[in-house]
Structure 1
Amino acid sequence: MTTILVTGGTGTLGRLVTERLRAGGTTEAGGSGAGHEVRVLSRHSRPYAVDLREGTGLAPAVAGVDTVVHCATSPRGGDEQAARHLIEAARRAGVRHLVYISIVGVDQVPLGYYRTKLAVERLVEESGLGWTVLRTTQFHDLVLQVLRSSAKLPAMLLPAGVAAQPIEVTEVAARLAELATGVPAMGVPPAGGWGRVPDMGGPEVRTFPELARAYLRASARRRPLLNVRLAGKAYHGFRAGGHLTPERAVGKVTFEQFLAERFPARS
């Protein structure tokens, strides 16, 4: 029986990855994904309640684990320290495969959080483990959160000239589960190859005014839209589309379809 540990397993993505792995399915290699033992690691999830930034309690969590899917993250910081603790514990436990979820554009947009995600990618690459890194565009949920926050004002303030390519989190979870039940994209030397699998982007690149209008229609709200030019290198990176991957628009669920699920009465 394959044992898989999912960090951040109670979060938006990690919870869905855990459910997918426990339910089984088809692996990347073509076999059955059923029969996995899945351990959920988070700060408050028993029996593997671990704060990765501290690293205490990791040894029993990774003991006997074949694959780690690393979904845990925090915009408030500590991701690099957490990754170091996880990688050290995984090496000691003989983990075969480390799967990491990252973001499209972490090497293009000089945003602090993106730089941290890129640094963690480098730690994974240098870990000495078999590894796989998947980058995706932003989830529908995050775009909705941004728009809801903006709609609290009398006018919705939107970043001028910036587009987004939101993707459905369940589709990302399915892909991560597939990768976790397959072989590492970068095998342990002397095997191996390049360990970053093709990016996943949402089905459409949309401007923020288009997304805002879709949200207002779905939620039956009215707000004027105000495009605001911002300063800084990160904003220019977003304007240049460094966070987009139109050539990898593999997602199926559109933002309107996502909204129809969130606002069924309105739809």
Structure 2
Amino acid sequence: MKNDTIMVTGATGMLGREVLERVRRTGRPVRALTRRTALPDDAGVDWCTGDLTTGAALDAALAGVGTVVHCASDIRHFKNDLPGLRHLLEAAKRAGVEHVVNISIVGVDRIPYPYYKVKLEGEQLLAGSGIGWTNLRATQFPGLLDLAFGALSKLPVVLVPSGTDCQPVDAGEVADRLVELALGAPAGRVPDFAGPTVYPAARLAEDWLHAAGKRRAVLPVRIPGKVGAAWRAGHLAAPARALGRRTWEEYLAERVAR
């Protein structure tokens, strides 16, 4: 008998929280994985502890799970992402998990940025796992851009890569798509999911500064090497996959504007 339980990894993160709420709305049994010992008190969610980096307690956490939506990632310590995914897939196989849905990033196969290389290797690891899998690549979350500009604006001048386009996509809309995929059959790599509008990076910074009420100069800087060339080639965006509806301006008005 197929198990209906869906587990969300990275369930306390920016995307994981959105996925968790949407899985709960489906009425399916939902389990959330966290490293924390003090678990959130969320009605209808089975919180469990487990450590992807070490593999500790994953067998117990995955017992009875049919589908995993893998949102766990840490850009600050991204070298842990691959061991974490490897431990997850090994435990998932032992538990008889039938479907792993993974979130990745548009451009990971064309931009030789270290974090992107890890994400691409993770995609390859998933595809070779022997478990049914689905992989979705998305463009940039406004919440992450918000954090980045908040940090950059502490300096007198906000530096941004020149000639670089971005295409912010609402994390909630990506979560909707991930849950849709989780409720379906394994589909391999599915078409990318991008926001409704492509913006130059400098325009995003200027919009953010205006909304935040900060007076700073924005200085586009040419990024050297293969990474800079890939950014200028437009590989951070996916104009043909502009499926998102919520705009950058709407995000700023709701979350940043003073």
Common fold, TM-score beyond 0.5? yes
- Which residue number in structure 2 is paired with residue 222 of structure 1? 215
Q: Which residue of 1 aligns with 2:139?
A: 137
Cα displacement (A) at 1:154: 1.1
Q: What is aligned with 2:44?
A: none
Name the SS for the 2:189 alignment partner.
coil
| Bigger helix fraction | 2
What is the aligned counterpart of 2:32 among 20, 34, 40?
A: 40
AA of the residue aligned to 1:48? C
Within 2, Cα distance between the matches of 1:117 and 1:263?
A: 29
Secondary structure of residue in 2 paired with 1:67: strand
Q: Report Cα offsets for 1:153-207 as digits up to 9, x if no partner.
A: 112111111111111101011111111111111xxxxxxxxx1111001111100
Q: How many residues align?
A: 246
1:73 aligns to 2:88 (yes or no): no
**Counterpart selection for 1:123 from 122, 125, 143:** 125
Amino acid at match of 1:98: V
Give the TM-score, by structure 1 length.
0.89
**Structure 1 CA distance for aligned equivalents of residues 161 and 131 of structure 2:** 40
Code of the residue aligned with 2:151 in structure 1: it is: S
User: Partner of 1:200: helix, strand, or coil?
Assistant: coil
Q: Which of 2, 6, 12 does residue 14 from structure 2 map onto?
A: 12
Q: Answer yes or no: is 1:249 the counterpart of 2:242.
A: yes
Match in the other structure for 2:233: 240
Q: Is the contact made by 2:162 and 2:221 (CA closer than 8 Å) also made in structure 1? A: yes
Distance apart, 1:217 and its partner CA = 1.9
Q: After the TM superposition, list the runs of 4 or more consecutive aligned residues in structure 1 that deviate by more than 6 angstroms.
A: none
Quote the Cα distance in structure 2 between the aligned partners of 1:200 and 1:180. Answer: 15
More displaced 10-residue stretch of structure 1: 255-264 or 98-107: 255-264
Alpha-carbon distance in structure 1 between the residues aligned to 2:115 and 2:157: 27
- Could you tell me whether the CA contact under 8 Å between 1:108 and 1:243 is conserved in 2? no
Summarize the alignment of residues 96-111 of structure 1 with structure 2, pairs less than 5 Å apart.
Answer: 96-111=98-113
Q: Which residue of 2 aligns with 1:49?
A: 49
Matched, 1:261 2:250: no
Shift of 1:263: 3.2
Instruction: Give aligned-pair identity as a percent.
Output: 50
Q: Does 1:3 align with 2:23?
A: no
- Deviation digits for residues 55-89 of structure 1 (CA, Å, limit 9, x no counterpart): 01011111111001111112212111111111111
1:223-251 alpha-carbon deviations (Å, 9 max, x no partner): 11211122222122111111211100111
CA distance in 1 between counterparts of 2:217 and 2:58 reads 50
- Partner SS, residue 216 of structure 2: coil
Gaps of 5+ in 2: 40-46
CA RMSD in angstroms comes to 1.3
Letter in structure 2 aligned against 1:94: G
Give me the TM-score of the superposition, normalised by structure 2: 0.92
